[in-house]
Structure 1
Amino acid sequence: MSDNGIRSDWATKDFYAVLGVGKSASADEIKKAYRKLARANHPDAVKDAPDAAAKHEKFKQVAEAYDVIGDADKRKKYDQAREMFASGRGFPAGGAGYSGTVNLEDLLRERGAGGGGGGFGDLFGDFLGFGAGQRRSQPRAARGTDLETTATIGFGEALEGVTVSLRIAADAACGTCSGTGGKPGTSPHRCQTCEGTGFVVASVGGAFSMNETCPACGGRQLVYDEACPTCHGSGRSRSARTIQAKLPAGVKDGQRIRLRGKGAPGERGGPAGDLYVAIKVTPDRVFGRKGEDLTIDVPVSFAEAALGAQVRVPTLGGAAVTLKIPAGTPNGRTFRVRGKGVPRKDGGNGDLLATVEVQVPAHLNDEARAALEAYAAATADAPLRAGLFEQTEA
């Protein structure tokens, strides 16, 4: 793997197809496709599924694809390399009709006129993992895979902030062999397949060849006569751990929190990946949320709306407040109670938005019915619907 994360075997991988997007897809389209596939194939979500192993492998492929084409710089180099490597265009190696194998490492050694920089060396040096005129002799550190999980929290916890425990499962260095792949107590020797370089030359198609990670030693350059009994020589094992994550006050349902360095461990001393936590907030029975404001529906009677009233309204986690309803308040009117909403980053709070819902009684006793009939008779001349007919006639 090169310093910028580009790996030689990516020339033969179609990351756009892995994510199910076109080559011209926007960054947002790529991100949406990645999130959808990551959720559908995450090991924690499919651990009991009959095809869990296949989905786990799909999850790793999706994460690898997004790590490349989800990064603008890597995506540009990936597209350039794929275009050049796909059919061998742009690398004449022996005149018309030549069909032999060309080693790109040899091409990269040619620095241009006068031995200066530029040309293929500058374009593909990072991609193949070695600089122009230089063969990489040591495997490079590799960053760990990014992981994704979900945290379900209560409505009040989302507003006030909360620390949650997250169970994370990921590939890590085998605890028995410490990632070497060999049986403890045995001595390694140089890999004969790659002659200790960690890479082998493989045909890409057409008239080209390129370096790939050695299948015998996995790029570790050394092999053991006896494989580790735990990981069977892979140097990796599945491990689970629990971490404590502090979610900030004011997180929203559907928000995605990034925890740096909490993803899968890196390889050969590389940094760990990141952990993305998708937030799911359980709805509250009384309160809703609109940005930094809380919302609440306040039932009032017809008499209270018509004559005016003072109504007590609850707040979330605090004392109730008294809401003054003016006479003649219509159904659906919203009142604002300052400072009783969602905590803000500046230390303040949003507001509480109280919306009046005028209640119509489903049943009336004789006294109430007589009173309403008297009211109806007293207001019979009120032209409530006259405007409707004037608009129709016009």
Structure 2
Amino acid sequence: MSKRDFYEVLGVGRDAGERDIKKAYKRLAMKYHPDRNPGDDTAADKFKEVKTAYEILTDPQKKAAYDQYGHAAFEQGGMGGGGGFGGGADFSDIFGDVFGDIFGGGGRRGGGQHRAQRGADLRYNMELTLEEAVRGCTKEIRVPTLVNCDTCEGSGAKKGSSPTTCGTCHGAGQVQMRQGFFAVQQTCPHCHGRGKIITDPCGKCHGQGRVQETKTLSVKIPAGVDTGDRIRLTGEGEAGEFGAPAGDLYVQVHVQKHAIFERDGNNLYCEVPVSFTMAALGGEVEVPTLDGRVSLKVPTETQTGRMFRMRGKGVKSVRGGAVGDLICKLVVETPVNLSSRQKELLQEFESTLAGSDAKKHKPRSEGFFDGVKKFFDDLTG
């Protein structure tokens, strides 16, 4: 079925301004609203059509697209992303958004007393050592926040008194304003939607029901947490307004850099320096773990950078699963501050590695230099 021109739907010209479009929409929406036409499917369809035309023509980008391309701009895949008139619109929500609460009910914004606002959530950044994060611990923290006033117990009224019903809205939290045929409900300007007035405010909180205070809390850190993990303490955020629920406190974990270990998920990594004599001849070296020292066997002819895995010496994640491993990277340490005699011995040792057997003793370096020679031969050849 062909779709009607949006300007024709609203009965306005193409040069109509937003004010004229809105005026036409209100008139037609009143005429075709389902509350006024119960069981009339034709009126419901016309209401959807009017609503869609209004939404398009009051949005500058959509209006520009419609003026240039017509309905094609809003077919599936176009600017509108789905075509049709209004999709699954909720009539009470649509009408409430434009008029407040016409007809005195139905919309989300109509009637009802203002609910006291829930307290705000808070965030606390916690620094942990690697050992604390891996093993778990209990930390005491101090958090500045809003708490219920202990003098008035959060009511805001002076002790011995209580809030009184608002005389303007009679406790409803909203007042009705008539504009010709329309009846629009708004938040009561006197009690700000609470329905009650504090005539004798508490001297400590000055009628707010909350005061600023620094709370001391004990936080249990579970074993295996890592940087970026968040711990929620329910109800430890700011106190809510006039007895409303408190917010939550979120403890954001940051694990400090460790002098020996580096963590990656459930695994730990560390570098283990060994002498070139041990690397060549083999031996054993003590390696640190979070549970104490262990012995690592170094095979003969070990090259620098070789990795050794020590299973089960890593971390068990707070989310469960197997314990990670400790990955040790061996780094062959070059001796420094050599005496003259030590230098002579090294030179004598080096001379024994020269000759036709050099590749046998130094396979990586000899292979590297053979590759370099071939590279330059290819360039010049």
Asked if structure 2 preserves the Cα contact closer than 8 Å seen for 1:111 and 1:133, the reply is no
In structure 2, the residue matched to 1:32 is none
Asked if structure 1 preserves the Cα contact closer than 8 Å seen for 2:230 and 2:251, the reply is yes
- State the secondary structure of the residue aligned to 2:341: helix
Residue deviations 1:321-367 (CA, integer Å, cap 9, x gap): 21111222111111001111112454742111111111112211233
| Deviation for aligned residue 1:120 | 3.5
1:180 and 2:151 are equivalent in the alignment = no
Alignment map for 1:5-44 (pairs within 5 Å): none
TM-score by length of 2: 0.66
In structure 2, the residue matched to 1:391 is 375
For 2:19 and 2:291, how far apart are their aligned partners in 1?
Answer: 66
In structure 2, the residue matched to 1:310 is 284
For 2:112 and 2:247, how far apart are their aligned partners in 1?
Answer: 25
Alignment map for 1:84-123 (pairs within 5 Å): 92=24, 95=27, 111=35, 113-114=37-38, 119-123=90-94
State the AA in 2 paired with 1:177: C
In structure 1, the residue matched to 2:264 is 290
In structure 1, the residue matched to 2:166 is 191
* Count of residue pairs brought into register by the alignment: 295
| Deviation for aligned residue 1:269 | 4.6
Asked if structure 1 preserves the Cα contact closer than 8 Å seen for 2:111 and 2:174, the reply is no
Task: Tell me which of 110, 116, 119 is aligned to 1:144.
Answer: 119
For 1:162 and 1:201, how far apart are their aligned partners in 2?
Answer: 57
1:339 and 2:323 are equivalent in the alignment = no
Identity %: 39
| Deviation for aligned residue 1:159 | 0.3
- State the secondary structure of the residue aligned to 1:242: strand
1:297–1:227 CA distance, 2 compared to 1 (3 A): same
Task: Tell me which of 342, 347, 358 is aligned to 1:368.
Answer: 342
User: Taking CA–CA contacts closer than 8 Å with sequence separation of 6 or more, which of the two structures ends up with the larger relative contact order?
Assistant: 1
For 2:97 and 2:222, how far apart are their aligned partners in 1?
Answer: 39
Higher CA-based Rg: 2
1:326 and 2:299 are equivalent in the alignment = yes
| Deviation for aligned residue 1:194 | 3.7
Alignment map for 1:151-230 (pairs within 5 Å): 151-199=126-174, 211-212=186-187, 214=188, 216-230=190-204
| Deviation for aligned residue 1:91 | 7.0
1:153–1:390 CA distance, 2 compared to 1 (3 A): same
Query: How big is the alpha-carbon RMSD for the aligned residues of Structure 1 and Structure 2?
Result: 3.8
Task: Tell me which of 240, 248, 253 is aligned to 1:279.
Answer: 253
Residue deviations 1:193-216 (CA, integer Å, cap 9, x gap): 4443223579xxxx997633x454
1:354 and 2:354 are equivalent in the alignment = no
Residue deviations 1:156-187 (CA, integer Å, cap 9, x gap): 01001112122222223332223332222335
1:347–1:160 CA distance, 2 compared to 1 (3 A): farther
1:376–1:197 CA distance, 2 compared to 1 (3 A): same
TM-score by length of 1: 0.64
Give the unaligned 5+ runs of structure 2: 1-17, 45-88, 359-365
1:356–1:186 CA distance, 2 compared to 1 (3 A): same
Asked if structure 1 preserves the Cα contact closer than 8 Å seen for 2:229 and 2:252, the reply is yes
For 2:283 and 2:219, how far apart are their aligned partners in 1?
Answer: 46
Asked if structure 1 preserves the Cα contact closer than 8 Å seen for 2:155 and 2:162, the reply is no
State the AA in 1 paired with 2:123: E
